[in-house]
Amino acid sequence: MPLSHIEKIGNYWALSGETIAKVSSTDPIRGLTKEEAATRLAKHGYNSITTSENTQPLLILLRQFTSPFILLLGVSTILSFFFKEWLDGFAILMVMILNTAIGFWMEYQAHRSMEALKKMSVVQARVIRDGEMMEIKSELLVPGDLLFAESGEMVTADARIINANQLQVDESTLTGESFPVDKGHNLLPEKIPLSGRSNMLYKGTFITKGNCFAIVVNTGMKTELGKLAGIVQQAEQVATPLEKKVRILSKKLIWITLGLIVAIFTGSIFYGTPVTTVLKIAIALSVAAIPEGLPVVTTLALSFGMLRMARHNVIVKKLSAVETLGGTNVICTDKTGTLTQNKIEVSLIQAGSLSARVRINVAGTSMHWMENNSIPGTAAYAHLCRISALCNTASYQLNGNEASASGDPLEIALLKMIHASGMKPVQYQQQFSKTDEIPFSSETRVMATLHKSKEQDPFYYIAAKGAVEDILKYCSSVLDENGKSHLGEKQKEEWKAIATKHAQSGFRMLAFAYRETSKQEPSFMHNLTLAGIIGFSDPPRAGVTEAIKECKNAGIRVIMITGDHPETAKNIALQLGIATPGEDVMLGSSMKPYNQLTASDRAQWLRTSVFARVSPEQKQHLVSVLQDEKMIVAMTGDGVNDAPALKKADIGIAMGLRGTQVAREAADMVLKDDAFTAIVSAIRQGRIIFENIRKFVIFLLSCNLSELLVIAICALFNLPFQLFPLQILFINFITDSMPALALGVSNSGGSIMQRKPYPPETLIIDRKRWTAIFVYSFVITATTLGAVATSHLILHYNDKWNNLVYNNILFYTLIFSQLFQVLNMTFKRDIPFHKTDVFRNPAIWYSIGGCIGLSLAAYWIMPVKRILGITAISQGDWCIILLYSILTVAIIRIIKKMKITI
If one counts every other C-beta atom within 10 angstroms of the C-beta of residue 481, the result is 14
> How does strand 330-333 pair with strand 314-316?
unpaired
8 Å CB contact between 33 and 129? yes
**Helix, strand, or coil here: 870?**
coil
- Find the distance separating the first CA and the last CA of the chain, reported in whole Å: 78
Pairwise CA distance, residues 598 & 618, whole Å = 16
8 Å CB contact between 160 and 200? yes
8 Å CB contact between 384 and 410? no
Pairwise CA distance, residues 434 & 211, whole Å = 14
8 Å CB contact between 92 and 725? yes
Cβ contacts of residue 271 below 8 Å, gap of 6+? 715, 718
Pairwise CA distance, residues 103 & 872, whole Å = 33
Query: DSSP code of 391?
Result: S
Given 334, 538, 642, 736, the catalytic residue = 334
Strand stretches in 591-632, DSSP E: 610-612
Pairwise CA distance, residues 861 & 171, whole Å = 67
8 Å CB contact between 209 and 162? no
CA 155 to chain centre: 22
CA 1 to chain centre: 47
Q: Which runs of consecutive H residues, i.e. helices, occur in 131-219?
A: 172-175
The CA-based angle 727-731-735, given to 5 degrees, is 175
Pairwise CA distance, residues 167 & 388, whole Å = 23
27 part of the active site? no
Torsion of CA 135, 141, 147, 152, to 10 degrees: 70
Q: Helix/strand/coil (H, E, C) string of 190-208?
A: CCCCHHHCCCEECCCCEEE
The CA-based angle 453-459-465, given to 5 degrees, is 75
Amino acid at 64: Q
Cβ contacts of residue 859 below 8 Å, gap of 6+? 865, 870, 873
Q: What is the maximum span of the chain, computed from C-alpha positions, in angstroms?
A: 120
Amino acid at 764: I
Pairwise CA distance, residues 188 & 192, whole Å = 8
Pairwise CA distance, residues 565 & 535, whole Å = 11
Q: Helix/strand/coil (H, E, C) string of 330-357?
A: EEEECCCCCCECCCCEEEEEEECCEEEE
Pairwise CA distance, residues 128 & 215, whole Å = 10
If one counts every other C-beta atom within 10 angstroms of the C-beta of residue 866, the result is 11
**Residues with a known catalytic role:** 334
